[in-house]
Chains A and B, each alone.
Chain A
Amino acid sequence: MPQPLPESARERMAARARRIALIRRRVIVATLATFALAWGVIAFDGSMGSTTTASTQAATTTSSSDGTTSSSSSDGTTSSASSSDNSKSSSSDDSTSSSSSSSAPVTTSQS
């Protein structure tokens, strides 16, 4: 028959068990918080797959009076023929250009 532990030893063991439980709980909370944070960041900022746009463009270009060439897209924005980047767009008041475009997003891969 084992001797019962003295009160002080029991208290020490209980305190140790409480510390261990606290550490485990903290690790679980930290892990779950990290998972939730990572999930949120990926959902709202991460890549969900590369989507390429297959577009066909028919643009009629005209030369403006200063000799520059421009084209106008169907949505009213005017952009240079060689780039779709709006920051590089140019306008021409006397432009009579027009263009039509159609695009179809095609998901090619999940990355």
Chain B
Amino acid sequence: MDPVHIFWITSRAAGLVALLASSAAVTLGLLMGGRFVTGRTAQLRVTHEALALATIAAIVIHAGALLGDSFLSPSLADVTIPFVSGYQRIWTTTGIVGGWVLVVLGLSYYVRARIGVARWRVLHRFTALGWLLGVVHGIFEGTDAGAAWFLIAVAAAALPPGALLAVRWSGAPASPAVQRS
């Protein structure tokens, strides 16, 4: 393997990890928020938080590793500011916006008291939008998007939260017995 590809491979692997971890985090969040699960919510919340932090770390590595890629050689602005990069501008921007949404809304958990818990809850719902943008970015710009293993992995990870989101947006209650009051 050519050492020149190390940053490139690292960025792609981190992108996939971010996609899988965010899918799992969003799934758990929707399961808890929709009251699809009862009991063990403390453990689920801890897992949700750990997965969200793993997602943020993976996003940082995904963007940071690109800075070391000698082929694309993007600037910091290229990988952090929407519409700056000329490389597949729309899909790169989709990824940047999705990444920022996930990072900012994920970390906002730690200042929710300052934001106001009710306001934070409303904001936190937009995390799903960040995840959706990440999936779109991965499918339309991902180098491995044509590979069967990638599509299978993303489909397996993205279908559960996709279905849960569809249920939430359709307004269908999770279960009459555990509906929110």
How far is B12's CA from A44's CA once the two chains are assembled, in angstroms?
13
CB within 8 Å of B: which A45-60 residues: 45-49
Known A23-B46, A24-B46, A46-B12; contact A35-B17, beta-carbon cutoff 8 A:
yes
- Would you call A41 an interface residue if the criterion is a C-beta within 8 Å of the partner chain's C-beta atoms? yes
Query: Nearest chain A CB to B95's CB is how many angstroms away?
Result: 16
Q: Which residue of B lies closest to A39 (CB)?
A: B13
Q: Which residue of A lies closest to B10 (CB)?
A: A39
Q: Which residues of A contact B47 (CB under 8 A)?
A: 23, 27
Residues of B within 8 A of A (CB-CB), count? 29
CB within 8 Å of A: which B1-27 residues: 1-2, 5, 8-10, 12-14, 16-17, 20-21
From B114-122, B141-149, B162-170, B171-179, the one touching the partner chain is: B141-149
Known A46-B147, A111-B143; contact A27-B9, beta-carbon cutoff 8 A:
no
- Would you call B72 an interface residue if the criterion is a C-beta within 8 Å of the partner chain's C-beta atoms? yes
Please state if B5 and A48 are interface contacts (CB–CB under 8 Å): yes
Please state if A34 and B50 are interface contacts (CB–CB under 8 Å): no
Please state if B144 and A28 are interface contacts (CB–CB under 8 Å): no
How far is B44's CA from A27's CA once the two chains are assembled, in angstroms?
12
Residues of A within 8 A of B (CB-CB), count? 23
Chain B 104-126 against A: per-residue CB contact (8 Å), 1 yes, 0 no?
Answer: 00000000000000000000000
| Main SS at interface, chain A | helix
Query: Nearest chain B CB to A82's CB is how many angstroms away?
Result: 27
Query: Nearest chain B CB to A27's CB is how many angstroms away?
Result: 4
Please state if A34 and B43 are interface contacts (CB–CB under 8 Å): no
Please state if A31 and B58 are interface contacts (CB–CB under 8 Å): yes
Please state if A110 and B8 are interface contacts (CB–CB under 8 Å): yes
| 8 intermolecular pairs with C-beta atoms under 8 Å apart | A24-B50, A27-B51, A34-B20, A38-B17, A41-B149, A42-B12, A42-B144, A49-B71
Contacts beyond the supplied A23-B43, A31-B57, A45-B147: 8 A-B pairs with Cβ under 8 Å: A28-B50, A34-B16, A34-B17, A34-B20, A38-B16, A39-B9, A43-B1, A46-B144
